[in-house]
Structure 1
C-alpha cells in the first residue's frame, strides 16, 4: 500500500501564483457586467448615508502615481464603509476648464485660435476635455476603483455650470462679490490674473539695488536736498514709484557721508554702512517716522513727486526702513497709497511689456527692463549699489514662469467680510493629520480678497451685465435667468448670444435708459468651478448630502480645493461643506527624491499594473504612512509582492485544507471547538477589532502590518503548521480535524472580508473557491464584528503563556539542530521543566503538547539536570529513541506494534485499518 493514498492531503484549484496583470482586467470586466457598484448600492440602501466627495482631478494627461495613491485611498474608505453598516455612494468628478487645456489645443493639437470665434474655440476645448475625461476614467477603473463611473460630475456640464452661477449669485447677493482695481498676481506667460492657490515659489536670481530719492520739500522736518535711500529687488517697478513709506514709530537718521546726507532707519545704520561701504558715517539728526508724513521727494528720473507716507508694514528685517512704494505693483503699497488718495500706476500690459506710461522703456519686457532701468538710475546718479541675490519668488504653477504684481480691474470675492465664519467652521472640522487645521486656519486668517476673474476663454463666464453708464448689473432676476439658460444650453451661449438676448425679455435698468447692455468677458477662476461642487454635486444629487463626511486630497489642496470649497460653502450656506478633511503627502522615489523625467525616476501606474498588478499597487498604498510623503520603487514593490505572496499562500493553504469541508454539515459549534481553535478564533477577534478600528481612523498601514503578521506568525508558523498532523493524518470526520477546519473556515472568510477594501481582485478570486458561501461576490457581504468569545479569559491567558513557552522551545530546537543532535524537529523528544507555577499548570494539563510544538514527544517534569535554561522553562532536547512512522513521520516507540502494519505507529495503523482496507 502506498501510504500517500491514505493521507488527506490539501487539494485546491486556487492557483499559487496570482498572475495579477492578466487576471485583473478580466475581473474588472466581470464586475462591470454584473453591475457590482449598483448591486452594492442596492444592498446597503436604507443604511446611514456616508459620503466621500471626490475632489476633481484635472482632465489633462495620463494619471501619475499621485493620482493612483489618491484614488486608491478613497476606494479603501468607500469599500470599507459599504461593508460596515453604511450606504456609501461614490461619485467621481473632473475639473475641465482652464489654461492647460487651451495650451494643449494650441500647442499640441496646433489649433489656430485666430481662425475661429471664441465659441468655436471653447467647443474644441470641451471636446478635448471630454476625451481626457474618458481616458482618465478608464485608467481610474483599472485601479479597481468602484464608483458611479457612468454618471460622474464634470465641471463643464450644463447642470454643473448652472449651479455654479447660482453660487456666484448668492455670494453677490450677500455683498461678497465686487469689482475693483488693485494689484493681483499677474502671469505674463498666461496673460491672466492668478489666485494665491495658483502660485508656487521657486528660486530666482534678481538684481538688488539701493537707490536715492532727493527731498524737495522737507516740511520743516528735513532741510531739503537729503537723499532717502530705498532698497528693492525689482528695479522694473521704479517707473511706477509714487512714494516712499516709513514706519510711523521707527526712528530715522540723517547720516552724513562724503558731503552727502542720507535718510535711513537708525536701527539699520550698521548694516547699510557695511553694504554701501561707508567709512565713518555721522548721524546729524534723528526724527520719528510720523514726523516726516507728507514730506516730498523727487522721482529719480521722472519729473514727478514721490510722497513720503506712513505704513505699519515697514520693518527693519532688511533694506533701509524706507520702502519704495509702487501702488500698482504691490498689495501693501496699494493699501497705503489709497489711504493717501493716490491712484495706482501700472505701466505694463497683459504680456508684461512696458506701455507709454513708462517713458523711455516702452515696448520692453519688464524683466529685461531691469538692466535698462538700473543703467538709467546710475546715469542720473541715483544708484548707490547694484548686487544680485537668489530668493524665493512667485511663479505661475501652470507655466512655471515668474509672475508679477499688477494693478488691474478684476472681480473679487471679499473673504474678509465672512472670514470669521470660515475660521469658526475650521474649528468644527475633524483633521487628519491634525496639523491640517492650523495650516488652513492660518491661510484663511491672513487672506484678504480672492481674485476670481481670469482673462481667458475656456471657463465659466462671470454672469455680469453692464449698463450704459458702465455700472455692473447683478440681480436675482439676471442670475436666475442666466442659470436657467446655462442649464438648457450650456455656457457657450454667453459667447454666442448678444447681451440683450441673454437678459430676461423686457429687462430694464436705470443704468441703461436706452435699453443697451454689454456683458462681462472674463471667466471665473477654475477654483471657483471646483469649489462650487458642494452645490452642484452634494446638494444637486438627492442621494448625496451636504456636508460630506470626507474630503480627501493631497496636501497641496489646503490652498486649493479645500480652501475654495470652504470659502464658497460658508459664503452661501454658513457651514463647511465637509465634516472631515484627510490629506496625503506626495509620492517620491525610493531615495526620497521628487519624481521627474530628467532623473528617470518616474513610476507610472499603468506600467506598475502591467508588471506587478493593481493589487500590489493597492497593497503598497495600504503599507505606507500616506499622511506624510511616501516612497515607491521597484525594490519597494518587490518587498510588497513578497508580502502579498505570503498572504495569498496562507489563504491557499486554508482553502486546500477545506476541500472536504461543508460548512452546512461539518462546522463544529463554537462551544464544542477544541481549545486551540477557540484560542485562534479569539486571536482572530482581536485582529478584527484592531483592523476595524484602523479603518475607522483611516489608518491603513496598521491593517497591512497586522494582517501580514497574523498570516506569518499566528497562522503559518503555528496554527497552519502543527495542524498538518491532524488534518492530513486523522480520518476525515475526526472531531479534532473538523474543529480545525471550522477554525480555518472562520479565519479564511473573515480575513478575506477584512482585505476586500484593499485587494479586491484577489479576495474576489478567493471567494469563488470558498465552500458554502452564498453571496455572488465578497463585496456583497459585511465585515464581521469582533468575536468577543465570552467567558474565555482564563483560556486565553493559558494559551498566551503557552505561546511564550513555545518561543523558548523553538530556540532550544534550533540550538539542537545547530549542534547536530537532531535534524527535523519531528526527530526530537523534549523534556520541559517549568520555572513557575503558572507555566507548570499550563503545560501539565495540555493535551497534544507534542503536536503543538511539532516534536515526536514532549515530557513535562519538575527536574532535569540536562535541561538548558530559557526565559520561562528549561528545555532538554534529545533524539527520539523510537522509529519513524512511514505515514505521519513521527518518531514513536509504538512503530511495529501492529503486525499488519509494522512500519506504522499505532495511531496511523488504526486509521488505515478502519478507512483504507477492504
Structure 2
C-alpha cells in the first residue's frame, strides 16, 4: 500500500512541455552533407549570395585563390587551406561584404611532364620520339582530369566560390595573358640574357629557380688538392696552395683560387708522416703547403702529416698557380690566379676556395669582379662533360636515367684518379652535408653555366610604374605597404627579397607558356614590336601556347626577315605563370577589382607564389597585387612528424569525410592555431568530434525548446529576469568578439569562445536553470516567455556566427526551424542592441556562480557518500559572510539557481562543520535534505505539494499549469 501511495494518480508527461524537434541527436554527416550540397547547388549558393549583397550595395572584398597544382587527389594540406579560404569567403559574406573568389589551378611544369614521360616509357616510347604538340596535348589532358577530381574534392568540403568560371594557367586565355605579362618585361628593358651558373637539374634537363630547390642531407666526396705556385714571393715558390672542395668534378672547370685579406696564411714544410698506415699517403716529407694558419692542423690531420714546420707568413696578393692537371694535358696549361673574395672564411677547409666560375654563384661573382668575362662551359644539359673537356669528355657528374638516376656518376672518381696520377691530390674523405635537390624530382642539382633569361632586380627602370626605381626597391616598398597575418610574415618575405638574385625565368622544357619572343641574331637583343607581340598574343588566345611552337615564324614576324631572328623556344618558369594570375583573374572581369584584398597560402609561399606575384606585379604595375597576406603552417601527424605514405601516418580527407563528415575537418581547422604547424590524427579528430557533439546538442536543445515560438511571445528587455539579462549581455560581448575575430581572420577566436559559451553559460547555467520553467510553467508565464525570447536571440546569432565554420550543421539547424525560409548562408550577422550590454549583471552572475560552485561541491559529496541522490532532494542552507556575494542574490530564487527544491541564504560565516571551498572564501554550505512531498510533475520536493485538492500530488505551480492545460482541452 505504501508503494501505491507514492505512485502519481495520473501520468502527467503529456502536460509537460518537453522539447520537440526533428533535428536528430546523431548528425549522420556523411549522409546529410551531400543532401545539403545538392540544395546549395540547386540554389547556386555562391552567386545567390553575391547577387543579394550587390542588390544591397555591399562593399566588395576580393580573395584571390593561390592555384594548387593539378596532379593528384586532394590531401589534408589542401583541405586545411581551402577550408581556411572558405572561412574567409563565408565570414566576409556574413559581415555584409560582396565577396569575389574564383578558384584556380596551376597546370604547367615539370611534375606533369614527368607523369607523361612515365606513361610514354610504359608504352615503350621515348619523349624525343613524340611531337611537342602530342606531348603538350597529353599534359593538358592529364591536368584537366585532376582539375575535375580536385574541384569535386573541394566542393565536398563545403567550399563555395565561382566554380563555373574557375581559372587555370593552361587555359588559352590565361596563356595569352601570361605571355602578355612577359612582353611587358621585354618592353621595359628588365629582361636580359645572361650566361651565368644557375642551379641545374641534369635529371630534369632544366634550370631551377631558388624556389624550386630544397635541401637534404647528402654524402659527398671531399678532396684536398695542391695547386703549384708559379708566381709569388720567395717563400711561396716551390710551395703549393691547398684547396678543399666537396665537388671534385668541378676541378676541370677551375680558373682561379679565392682568398681573404682577413685571413693569416703561411707556408708549412712537411717534416714527417704518420707511421703504421695501411696505405701510402700522398704527402711526403719536404712538401711545402700554403694554408690558413687557423686551419693548418685540420689539413695535417686529413693528410696524415705527423709533423710540419711553419716556414713563414705569406702574402697571397699577386700569387699565381698552375692547374693541378696541367702536367697531364696541355688543355689545362693556363695560369690560375689568386683572387681576393669576401666569401672566403676560415671556418673550414684550408682558407682557400677553389673557384670554377661556371659552377658557383660566388665563384662567378669574384671572377667577374676581377675583370674576367669568359665563363668556361664544362658540363652539358645531361650533366656530362662536353667533348672538348680533356681527360673527362662524356663522363657524367650525375646519372640521369634508370635506377641510378640522381646518383653520382663516374666523374668524381675519374677526376680524383687523374689528380693522383698528377701528384696533386693531398687527401680525400667523405662528408655528410646539406645539399640542394630539386623539390620535384628529389634528385641532386648542380651549378652549371648556361645561357638563360633573367629579370633584373637591381637596375633602375624608367617606366611610369617604377619611376626610376629598381624592381628590388619597388618590391620592398610593396612589402612595407602590405598587412601580414601573422605579422612575422613580413620579415620572412622581406629577407628573401633583399638577398635574392636576379629572377631566372627560362626553362628548357616543353609544357608551359613560352618566352614567346624573337632575338636579333646580330645584337642579341629581344625584338620589341607591338605588332609582332599582338599577333603572338592573338594566336595563343585562339589556339593556346601550342601556336607558338607549331605556327611558322612568318605568321608572327610580318615584315621582319625571319632569317635575321632567333625564335626562343624556352618556356617560362611556372612561378611566372602563377605570379601572373592576378592579371587575368582580377583585371578585366566584372564585379571584382585589382588589387586583391587578400592572398592566403602556406608559409612556404613566401618564397613561392607570394613572392613571384609580388615581383611580377611590382615589375609591371609598381606595387603588390594584394593588400594583405595570410599564411598558415603545415599539417603534421599527432606526434608532430611530417606525414608520409611510407610511415603510414597520412590523414586522408576523403576517408575522414566518408567516416565522420567534412564538418569535422572544418571544425578542426577552426579550432587550431593555423599560423603554426598543426597536428591531426585519430585522437585529434575524436576530440574534435566531441566538441562538435556538444555544439550540436546545444543547437538541438534550443530547437526543441523553441518549438512553436512566435514573436508574439517576446518579452521586452525591461521585463526580463536577471538571468536573461545576463545571457543577452553575453550575446552583446560575443557579437563584438566574433566580428573582430572574423575581421582579423582569427577563426580560433570565434569557435573557442562560442564552444565555451555553449558549454558554460548556456548548457550548464541558462538551460539548466530554466529547464524547469520551460517544461513546467504555463506558456504565458513571463519567466518562460523571457527564456524563449532569449533563446530565440541566441539561436539567431549562434547559427549566424557558426555558419562560416560549420555551415552544414548551421544550414540544417536553420532550415529545420525555417523550412520554407532562405539559406542560412544568405544571412548577415544580426545587429545586437547596445542596450543589451550589462556589465553589472555580468558581475552579479560571476558572484552567483562562485557561490553556486560551493553548493555543487557540497552536494557532490552527499551523492558520493550516497546520503542523497539528485540535487532536487536537497535544501541547502548557504552561509555567506561577504555582503557583496549575498547582495548578488537579490531578486533571485536561490533554489532555482542552485537547481535544488529549496534553499536558504544566511548572512554570516556558518558552522565549522559546513562545507567550504578555499577558492571561494566566506561561503559555507550545510547540505540539508528538502522537506515535503515530491511533485509528480516537476519532481521538486516542497511542503506545498498536495495543497490543491484537485491535484494532490502536485505543487501549486504545477497544479495551476495542469488545470490550465486540462481546461484548454475540455
Please give the residue correspondences for 1:669-818 in structure 2 after superposition, counting only pairs within 5 Å.
669-770=716-817, 775-789=821-835, 792-818=838-864
Is the contact between residue 61 and residue 97 of structure 2 (CA under 8 Å) also seen in structure 1? yes
Match of 1:43 in 2: 52
Match of 2:377 in 1: 346
Is the contact between residue 235 and residue 312 of structure 2 (CA under 8 Å) also seen in structure 1? no
Match of 1:658 among 696, 706, 709: 706
**C-alpha distance in structure 2 between counterparts of 1:329 and 1:786, whole Å:** 67
Structure 1 residue 582, shift from structure 2 partner? 1.2
Q: 2:586 aligned with 1:538, yes or no?
A: yes
Match of 1:120 among 114, 129, 134: 134
Task: Find the residue that maps to 2:907 and give its secondary structure.
Answer: coil
Change (3 A) 1:416 1:907: same
Match of 1:382 in 2: 424
Match of 2:956 in 1: 906
Match of 1:287 among 300, 306, 314: 314
Is the contact between residue 95 and residue 155 of structure 1 (CA under 8 Å) also seen in structure 2? yes
**C-alpha distance in structure 2 between counterparts of 1:495 and 1:284, whole Å:** 65
Match of 2:925 among 859, 875, 893: 875
Change (3 A) 1:700 1:537: same
Q: Deviations over 1:150-177 (max 9, x none)?
A: 1011101122122212221222222211
Q: 2:78 aligned with 1:67, yes or no?
A: yes
Match of 1:327 in 2: 357
**C-alpha distance in structure 2 between counterparts of 1:785 and 1:774, whole Å:** 23
How does the TM-score come out when normalised to structure 1? Answer: 0.96
Please give the residue correspondences for 1:216-227 in structure 2 after superposition, counting only pairs within 5 Å.
216-218=230-232, 220=233, 223-227=236-240
Please give the residue correspondences for 1:357-376 in structure 2 after superposition, counting only pairs within 5 Å.
357-366=388-397, 367-368=408-409, 369-376=411-418
Q: Deviations over 1:480-502 (max 9, x none)?
A: 33223222332110011121212
Match of 2:167 in 1: 153
Match of 1:20 in 2: 29
Q: 2:622 aligned with 1:574, yes or no?
A: yes
Please give the residue correspondences for 1:466-615 in structure 2 after superposition, counting only pairs within 5 Å.
466-469=519-522, 471-477=524-530, 478-503=532-557, 505-506=558-559, 508=560, 516-615=564-663
Q: Deviations over 1:395-447 (max 9, x none)?
A: 01110000000000111111233212211221221122222111111111111
**C-alpha distance in structure 2 between counterparts of 1:108 and 1:296, whole Å:** 50
Change (3 A) 1:447 1:422: same
Root mean square deviation, CA, Å: 1.9
Change (3 A) 1:463 1:693: same
How does the TM-score come out when normalised to structure 2? Answer: 0.91
**C-alpha distance in structure 2 between counterparts of 1:89 and 1:224, whole Å:** 74
**C-alpha distance in structure 2 between counterparts of 1:193 and 1:438, whole Å:** 28
**C-alpha distance in structure 2 between counterparts of 1:784 and 1:235, whole Å:** 71
Structure 1 residue 359, shift from structure 2 partner? 2.1
Match of 1:859 in 2: 904
Mean alpha-carbon deviation: is it higher for 774-783 or for 208-217? 774-783
For structure 2, the 5+ residue unaligned runs are 1-9, 271-284, 398-407, 460-470
Structure 1 residue 294, shift from structure 2 partner? 5.0
Task: Find the residue that maps to 1:328 and give its secondary structure.
Answer: coil
Structure 1 residue 467, shift from structure 2 partner? 3.2
Q: 2:299 aligned with 1:245, yes or no?
A: no
Q: 2:386 aligned with 1:355, yes or no?
A: yes
**C-alpha distance in structure 1 between counterparts of 2:345 and 2:904, whole Å:** 83
Change (3 A) 1:268 1:115: closer
For structure 1, the 5+ residue unaligned runs are none
Match of 1:262 in 2: 289
Q: Deviations over 1:242-276 (max 9, x none)?
A: 11111234332111112121112223223333333
Is the contact between residue 88 and residue 745 of structure 2 (CA under 8 Å) also seen in structure 1? yes
**C-alpha distance in structure 2 between counterparts of 1:691 and 1:72, whole Å:** 18
Match of 2:892 among 843, 847, 870: 847
- Count residues with an aligned counterpart: 907
**C-alpha distance in structure 2 between counterparts of 1:667 and 1:81, whole Å:** 30
Is the contact between residue 46 and residue 161 of structure 2 (CA under 8 Å) also seen in structure 1? yes
Change (3 A) 1:251 1:624: same
Mean alpha-carbon deviation: is it higher for 546-555 or for 104-113? 104-113
**C-alpha distance in structure 2 between counterparts of 1:793 and 1:230, whole Å:** 76
Is the contact between residue 464 and residue 472 of structure 1 (CA under 8 Å) also seen in structure 2? no
**C-alpha distance in structure 2 between counterparts of 1:176 and 1:712, whole Å:** 60
Change (3 A) 1:910 1:806: same
Match of 1:132 among 146, 156, 159: 146
Is the contact between residue 585 and residue 629 of structure 1 (CA under 8 Å) also seen in structure 2? yes
**C-alpha distance in structure 2 between counterparts of 1:419 and 1:222, whole Å:** 47
Structure 1 residue 623, shift from structure 2 partner? 1.1
Match of 2:102 among 81, 91, 112: 91
Match of 2:219 among 180, 205, 213: 205
Change (3 A) 1:790 1:656: closer
Q: Deviations over 1:880-909 (max 9, x none)?
A: 121111110000001122222211112111
**C-alpha distance in structure 2 between counterparts of 1:480 and 1:165, whole Å:** 10
Match of 2:691 in 1: 643
**C-alpha distance in structure 2 between counterparts of 1:283 and 1:82, whole Å:** 77
Match of 1:395 among 437, 452, 460: 437
Q: 2:453 aligned with 1:453, yes or no?
A: no
Structure 1 residue 770, shift from structure 2 partner? 2.1
Structure 1 residue 516, shift from structure 2 partner? 4.4
Change (3 A) 1:467 1:48: same
Task: Find the residue that maps to 2:98 and give its secondary structure.
Answer: coil
Q: Deviations over 1:668-697 (max 9, x none)?
A: 223322221121111122222222222222
Q: Deviations over 1:508-562 (max 9, x none)?
A: 3xxx5x7643310110000000011121222242422222111111111111101
Is the contact between residue 236 and residue 314 of structure 2 (CA under 8 Å) also seen in structure 1? no
**C-alpha distance in structure 2 between counterparts of 1:549 and 1:318, whole Å:** 48
Match of 2:405 in 1: none
**C-alpha distance in structure 2 between counterparts of 1:106 and 1:794, whole Å:** 72
Q: 2:517 aligned with 1:464, yes or no?
A: yes
**C-alpha distance in structure 1 between counterparts of 2:425 and 2:949, whole Å:** 115
Please give the residue correspondences for 1:271-282 in structure 2 after superposition, counting only pairs within 5 Å.
271-282=298-309
Structure 1 residue 840, shift from structure 2 partner? 1.7
Q: Deviations over 1:863-895 (max 9, x none)?
A: 443633341522111111211111100000011
